[in-house]
Structure 1
């Protein structure tokens, strides 16, 4: 591994909105050689028939692997159903998580089967946030509910179903986004919760799913001033290294939410923001074209290497976690499911 790709392995790059690999992304991925990519709605040909858009997706992923220069990569997506679904028809459009009831595990398995058929090996789900604030503009029915234990049970069952079909899951948004009244895509929320208050509610789902073995946790771009003032959870060592690693004994990967979101983007106006995230305990930096200029990843990777050379950060353990995670992934080829398979998936829970 070259020095530059050593830093690049800490990135997940969200592709530009095209069903084909753009010149910008091809050059960036070839230089950075990231852990993998994130796909969004714009990376699918929504006007084409099923067989045609799957074939185009297959070529996109083959091109991504070719320019990165290795077959084993993370191919990821936000796939929750409800209002968070990127894929075209005939992939099942379930209602949001709130409406699944006791079917969370079977929905997870259905999601896993369909995502595997499209070449994905990581989904940024389940949402472990509790819908405790009716004024929350970003969580709402994406949450499994308002009761912490019900959310914990449903999120864990969903993740286990997802994994049973060969797709790794990611619990989000740590340490809890449900009580906010601000959309972190637009500005930085603040939650004046104490550690005891977090333990009594927000951390219940995360503690349970971590104990069950979830391999990845995504951070929340939220200020918790009564725990670590002045910086959002994504950059807060007391929250990531302290609360998540030590308090919950989490051994897996910590991934940032998109670093282009307005809640966090000011911290990444300079390349040292990536260094701060890794220093705080993050392993993977999610930088997506939907929110940001992904070309900034080059300067961030250079800053990471400089910080490591100066002894400011030690990447050894994080690099090992990333390698283990990538080694655990299936690398499926996109294929079309039969009408019978799709009908069976759609029958397990209410549709949108």
Structure 2
């Protein structure tokens, strides 16, 4: 990994992308993404998983292929929260989800078993835990995915999961910054708004993310929610004000910052605009989770903007340094 020339344009762009793909093996599509697009990571869904043996072969073969192409080891990510969002089902352990995690011991047990099962498959990144706070008087879209209770309880349980996953060699990604627990609409289908003042967010929604930072969480995922009092023009996943000014500068978070899936309906902008905004906001990694033209458009836009804008190129080098540091720490 130390010999990786991350200043080459293709590699600089590719390492900042996590893509989904179709199939259950190291097929021609996946080889193309790794070899030609130089991707930093892939993300798995249920359609990619048939059995434990098949999944292990897929992950190990993909990671080896990346190394054979002169790339750093590959992020292999999955959403394994438990409950309704769990890509790995039986024979893997099926947990009922965050609302059923009541104690620190519960959180540690979930994290220990999940980390063991994921790492045994060759998966090294879990898009969990959810660190959103859902007030009891709000019919939150997240009510079936959050830890129950207020910000302090979410912080305690969430950091126990973070520490347990990472102790087991799996990177944890806290989501969905700066908090979507009070939203009523699903960003898979709509662009929700949370019209909260920053002072209000600091008292509730941001508390678990501050705790996650102190627990040295590997990554934080940005929401696709619009927060008009913070940025009236751009949702968090495309907002320099939220991703850079608030998270990176004010909160001094030094780990990886990544978008939620740019294929979701909350993103109505074209991929060129999305990538430009991501680069301006110095967001480390962009997720495009489904096979299709958006993958090619994202990579081409990333290449184009890095080539023509010296400032974006330089800040991009800093992003890739963070990515490589995370890979050095967790991917062996």
CA deviation map 1:54-94 (0-9, x unaligned): 45435653575367543612111111110111124211001
Q: Is the 8 A contact 2:13 2:302 kept in 1?
A: yes
Q: Is the 8 A contact 1:8 1:32 kept in 2?
A: yes
The answer as to 2:19 corresponding to 1:13 is: yes
1:41 to 33, 40, 46: 46
Q: Distance in 2 between matches of 1:64 and 1:181?
A: 42
Secondary structure of the corresponding residue to residue 19 of structure 1: coil
Q: Deviations over 1:25-77 (max 9, x none)?
A: 3223211111111111111115xxx4x43454356535753675436121111
Cα drift, residue 247 of structure 1: 2.1
1:142 aligns with 2:145: yes
Residue of structure 2 in register with 1:283 after alignment: 284
* Structure 1 segment 1-352 matched on structure 2, within 5 A: 1=5, 2-16=8-22, 18-46=23-51, 50=52, 52-54=53-55, 56-58=57-59, 60-62=61-63, 64-65=65-66, 68-70=69-71, 72-102=73-103, 103-132=106-135, 134-137=138-141, 139-264=142-267, 266-267=268-269, 269-289=270-290, 293-309=294-310, 314-331=315-332
Task: Evaluate the alpha carbon distance shift between residue 307 and residue 234 of structure 1 in structure 2; reply closer, same or farther with a 3 A threshold.
Answer: farther
Equivalent-residue separation in structure 1 for 2:59 and 2:314 (angstroms)? 38
Query: How far, CA to CA, are the matches of 1:160 and 1:239 in structure 2?
Result: 25
- Aligned equivalents of 1:277 and 1:135: distance in 2? 31
Distance 2:296 2:284 in 1: 19
Q: Distance in 1 between matches of 2:229 and 2:278?
A: 20
**Runs of 4+ residues deviating >6 angstroms:** none
Change (3 A) 1:87 1:129: same
User: How far apart, CA to CA, are the structure 1 residues paired with 2:129 and 2:114?
Assistant: 11
Deviations 1:105-159 (A, max 9, x none): 221111111111110111111100012264333x212101131111010000111
Tell me the TM-score normalized by structure 1.
0.85
Aligned residues: CA RMSD: 2.1
Structure-2 change in CA distance of 1:66 and 1:215 (3 Å) = closer
Distance 1:289 1:180, change over 3 A: same
Deviates more, 1:188-197 or 1:243-252: 243-252
CA contact (8 A) 1:260 1:291 kept: no
Distance in 2 of aligned mates of 1:168 and 1:208: 16
Paired residues, what number? 323
TM-score scaled by length of structure 2: 0.90
